[in-house]
Amino acid sequence: MVGIALVNKQRIKNNFGKSAVTYDKYAVVQKEMAVDLMTHLKKPRHEFSNILEIGCGTGYLTALLANAFPHARIVALDIAPEMIAIAKESLKGHETIEYVVSDGENPSFDTAFDLIVSNAVFQWFTGYIEPFKRYCRLLEPEGYLIFNTLGERTLEELRYCVSTLNSENKLSQASINLPSKKAVLKALYEAGFVDPVVNDSIKKAYYASARHFILAIKNTGTSGFSNQGLAPGGIGIEVFKLIRLYNRYFSDNRRVFASYHCLIGYAKKCRARPGGERAVSINYRSRD
């Protein structure tokens, strides 16, 4: 299966809802990812006119999109109403943006889009293939799906610490099952996209201490990574042990670091053949 094994939608929605007011201050990596994503958007075309953004959050990428494509209609969708409320407030005056509170795994629209875009969201999905198939259907012929998501090496340092404490029976099981680059590429092919490309890179984020890192995770809504949770609240008092371990193992010049495995996907919808099935060539390809 591609995607996260343990997905609790209500928990994800609540965590992001609660972190909506602190998100912008702490979402340094997510903002960097959004800027990276923008550099890919102008490659296929200079203009898009109908854009669907999945998981708009507080509207950071939405603002970049509105400035880059001022004439486009932009539908900004998110599962957490609190996130949408902040996006609406901060993007007041942008008449081309419409907001929708909905589950981005299964969006329903009457009109087709020429671009579906998403930054740092799909790692919260139950799987990749089904949503990708739905996006393929929602795209105009020649439309694009361009996104960033988090891959299997994300927060590997934190997982190392959690599993060390787990093996001492100090913590409840906390697991993340994030996809590899190859798995996301395979999902794009299976959904029917033509010649998709997935690139990956590791971004290292630095924090003053493990406590600051854990706080950043909590304040960006990331503590819902599994049913059991990874951050304070999910692991209670044992968080002090976790912080001590993290500071000991993953410090560099007095700062701690955390890895984010960024997967950037770029896919074009197949043009439907008159009266027939779409031709899909299965030839997995990834460019480094």
**By the criterion CB under 6 A, which residues form the site for ligand SAM?**
12, 16, 27, 30, 34, 54-57, 60-61, 78-80, 83, 103-105, 119-121, 124-125
Give the C-alpha separation, 104 to 131, whole Å: 8
51: phi then psi, degrees, rounded to nearest 5: -115, 135
| Nearer to ligand SAM among residue 117 and residue 210 (C-beta) | 117
Answer positive or negative: Cα dihedral of 155, 227, 4, 269: negative
Smallest separation (angstroms) from ligand SAM to the CB of 193: 20
Nearest residue relative to ligand SAM (C-beta):
57
Helix %, strand %, coil % of the chain (to 5): 40, 25, 35
Smallest separation (angstroms) from ligand SAM to the CB of 58: 6
| Nearer to ligand SAM among residue 143 and residue 221 (C-beta) | 221
Q: Which residues pair with 113 in a beta bridge?
A: 139
Smallest separation (angstroms) from ligand SAM to the CB of 87: 9
178: helix, strand or coil: coil
| Nearer to ligand SAM among residue 8 and residue 199 (C-beta) | 8
Q: Is the CB of residue 192 less than 8 Å from the CB of residue 133?
A: yes
Smallest separation (angstroms) from ligand SAM to the CB of 164: 26
Give the C-alpha separation, 81 to 57, whole Å: 9
Smallest separation (angstroms) from ligand SAM to the CB of 199: 18
| Nearer to ligand SAM among residue 78 and residue 157 (C-beta) | 78
Smallest separation (angstroms) from ligand SAM to the CB of 229: 15
Give the C-alpha separation, 124 to 127, whole Å: 9
| Nearer to ligand SAM among residue 13 and residue 268 (C-beta) | 13
| Nearer to ligand SAM among residue 126 and residue 286 (C-beta) | 126
Q: Where are the beta strands (DSSP E) in the chain?
A: 50-54, 73-78, 97-101, 113-119, 139-150, 193-207, 251-252, 255-269
Q: Which residues pair with 194 in a beta bridge?
A: 268
